[in-house]
Amino acid sequence: MKNILYVFVALITLFSSCDKNTDPVFDKSPEQRLSSVLSEYKAKLTQGDGYWIAYYSGSAILMKFNEDNTVEFKSTYDGGKEDKTVTYRVGASQVPELVFENYTVFQALYEANRSTGEYEFLFDHISDDRIDFISKTDLGDIKTKLTFFKGTPEDIDKVKAMIAKFAKMSFFKKVLVAGTSYEAMLITIPGEATLQVVDEDGSISSKKYDFEVTKDGLLFSPEITIDGIDVASFIYDEGKGQFIANAGGKNISIEVGAKPTAPQKGIYSDFMKTNFKVIENYSYALDSVQPLLKQDIPLLSAFQIYVQWGYVLAYAPKHVDGKWAGFSAFTFAENPDAADELLVAWDSRIYGQWWKDIYYNDGGQKLLGFILDPNGLYIMKAGLDSYYLISNSDPSQYVLVE
């Protein structure tokens, strides 16, 4: 009974002590607690020199957050045309969010990639060297994500140097796992990678991943699954000319490979069955084609190829001189020196009123030079009715057509 009494007295003493020394957290109103969190988040952004780098939609974005609520942008997007200083705030509608109060490269990327882009993000997780955000507007369970990594002023130049190296690499990239017979093919276009694996029955299975070229290698989101192993990033080994990762106790490499000795049988006939095709994406080596052309044709949407009718046309739906212009009298023939490969010839005929805006533009010349490769184009299946066309003369140049 005495023991029970002692416990009862001790509890009374404890509660009395708690009353006199209330936890300061509970002294604050919800508004005060939220303000404290927002101040903490801003302090994290501006800590040290305030530099953070993000990799998003095929571009690297370096940001310097300042105490005066300004942020300085440098990026690899569109030659740095969206590099500027704008104001920002760390606020909250329902949860803490980072708000850029002026037009930035994030909005530019969103407008260029509406099907996959996003530019409004909520704070999700914070650590000393990274900040994870999730989309503010995605409605589904799977949210678009963005990560800021702690950066340095030199990071953007390092990314540009890595992109320049990557742009010269061949379309044909092999993925190997040391100590196993595993082999896959990795196909990359800015912002997207496709892993192709030949199954035991000879069929090809493909899976797409978001990926970015970073200052020291490649970053995949979500993690790329290779032989059952999830890998987030690869580091470029300059000496070996390979991208290397160590995951799951395995050494995994991405190597630039040679063109297959023979293309898929009948692929030329399959390619020619559908007349109308659109160039949906370009390799890093051809990534300047659209931006260069848009200097003279701001309303340019895409290039269309009519393989049976022999047209290569630029489509600009609101152009005052007509929606289409380009070139006609192309011949899309099977390469006589390489079965199931494509050899394109042009009879120098034109179409539409603004064809000169294409022909005399560096981007237009680059595209025509690719299409008219004297050594032909290698064809590779990408999907049900989509294909990669790869230059035989320079396999770092390729496009995706659908």
Do 243 and 335 sit in the same domain of this protein? no
Do 228 and 275 sit in the same domain of this protein? no
Tell me the pTM.
0.82
Q: Across-strand partners of 235?
A: 217, 244
According to the model, what pLDDT value does residue 201 have? 78
User: Which of these ranges, 118-132, 312-326, 356-370, 379-393, has the smallest mean pLDDT?
Assistant: 118-132
Do 234 and 295 sit in the same domain of this protein? no
Which range scores top for mean pLDDT: 25-34, 40-49, 117-126? 40-49
What is the signed CA dihedral for 362, 370, 168, 219, rounded to 10 degrees? 90
Instruction: Provide the CATH number for the domain around residue 48.
Output: 2.40.128.640
Report yes or no on 15 lying in a domain. no
According to the model, what pLDDT value does residue 135 have? 80
CA 232 – CA 212 distance, rounded (Å): 11
What are 336-351's pLDDT values in tens digits?
999 999 999 999 999 9
What are 191-242's pLDDT values in tens digits?
899 999 988 777 788 999 999 999 999 999 889 999 999 999 999 999 999 9
Would you state the structure tokens that stand for residue 85, as one six-digit string? 């200083």
CA 281 – CA 219 distance, rounded (Å): 20
Instruction: Provide the CATH number for the domain around residue 179.
Output: 2.40.128
User: Which of these ranges, 32-46, 103-117, 382-396, has the smallest mean pLDDT?
Assistant: 103-117
CA 90 – CA 106 distance, rounded (Å): 16
Range of the domain at 58: 30-153
pLDDT tops 80 at residue 325: yes
Among 256, 279, 310, the domain boundary falls at 256
Chain centroid offset of residue 31 CA: 38
Report yes or no on 19 lying in a domain. no
Do 49 and 169 sit in the same domain of this protein? no
According to the model, what pLDDT value does residue 25 have? 52
355 vs 259 pLDDT, higher one: 355
Instruction: Compute the residue count for the chain.
Output: 402
Q: Tell me the average pLDDT across 376-394.
A: 95
Report yes or no on 240 lying in a domain. yes
pLDDT tops 60 at residue 49: yes
12 vs 159 pLDDT, higher one: 159
Among 116, 135, 153, the domain boundary falls at 153
Using CB atoms within 10 Å of the CB of residue 258, give its burial: 0 to 12 exposed, 13 to 18 middle, 19+ buried.
exposed
Do 296 and 391 sit in the same domain of this protein? yes
Residue type, 207: K
Do 144 and 210 sit in the same domain of this protein? no
Do 235 and 281 sit in the same domain of this protein? no
Q: How many percent of the chain have pLDDT more than 90? A: 74
Averaged confidence pLDDT in the chain: 89
**Could you tell me the pLDDT band of residue 377, with boundaries at 50, 70 and 90?**
very high
CA distances from 108 to 61, 62, 76, 222 (A): 12, 15, 12, 23
Q: Across-strand partners of 343?
A: 333
Report yes or no on 345 lying in a domain. yes
Return the closest-CA partner of residue 271 out of 172, 175, 169, 387: 387
Among 126, 153, 180, the domain boundary falls at 153
**Could you tell me the pLDDT band of residue 11, with boundaries at 50, 70 and 90?**
very low
Would you state the structure tokens that stand for residue 172, as one six-digit string? 């044909």
Q: Tell me the average pLDDT across 352-362.
A: 98
Report yes or no on 307 lying in a domain. yes
Report yes or no on 17 lying in a domain. no
Do 100 and 125 sit in the same domain of this protein? yes
**Could you tell me the pLDDT band of residue 114, with boundaries at 50, 70 and 90?**
low
Do 54 and 112 sit in the same domain of this protein? yes
Q: In degrees rounded to 5, what are phi and psi of residue 88?
A: -140, 165
CA 361 – CA 356 distance, rounded (Å): 8
Report yes or no on 368 lying in a domain. yes
What is the signed CA dihedral for 232, 99, 42, 31, rounded to 10 degrees? -120
Q: In degrees rounded to 5, what are phi and psi of residue 136?
A: -85, -25
Report yes or no on 242 lying in a domain. yes
pLDDT tops 50 at residue 12: no
What are 278-296's pLDDT values in tens digits?
999 999 999 999 999 999 9
According to the model, what pLDDT value does residue 15 have? 37
What are 172-190's pLDDT values in tens digits?
999 999 999 999 999 999 8
According to the model, what pLDDT value does residue 360 have? 98
Do 227 and 135 sit in the same domain of this protein? no
Estimate the crossing angle of helix 362-371 against helix 289-296, to 10 degrees.
140
Do 242 and 121 sit in the same domain of this protein? no
CB 297 within 8 A of CB 316: yes
pLDDT tops 50 at residue 2: no
Q: Tell me the average pLDDT across 251-258.
A: 93
Q: Tell me the average pLDDT across 318-326.
A: 95
- Within a 10 A sphere around the Cβ of 395, how many other Cβ atoms? 19
**Could you tell me the pLDDT band of residue 24, with boundaries at 50, 70 and 90?**
low
pLDDT tops 50 at residue 6: no
Would you state the structure tokens that stand for residue 67, as one six-digit string? 């105490």
Q: How many domains does the chain have?
A: 3
Say whether 140 sits in a helix, a strand or coil: coil
Q: Tell me the average pLDDT across 247-256.
A: 96
Do 192 and 96 sit in the same domain of this protein? no
According to the model, what pLDDT value does residue 31 have? 79
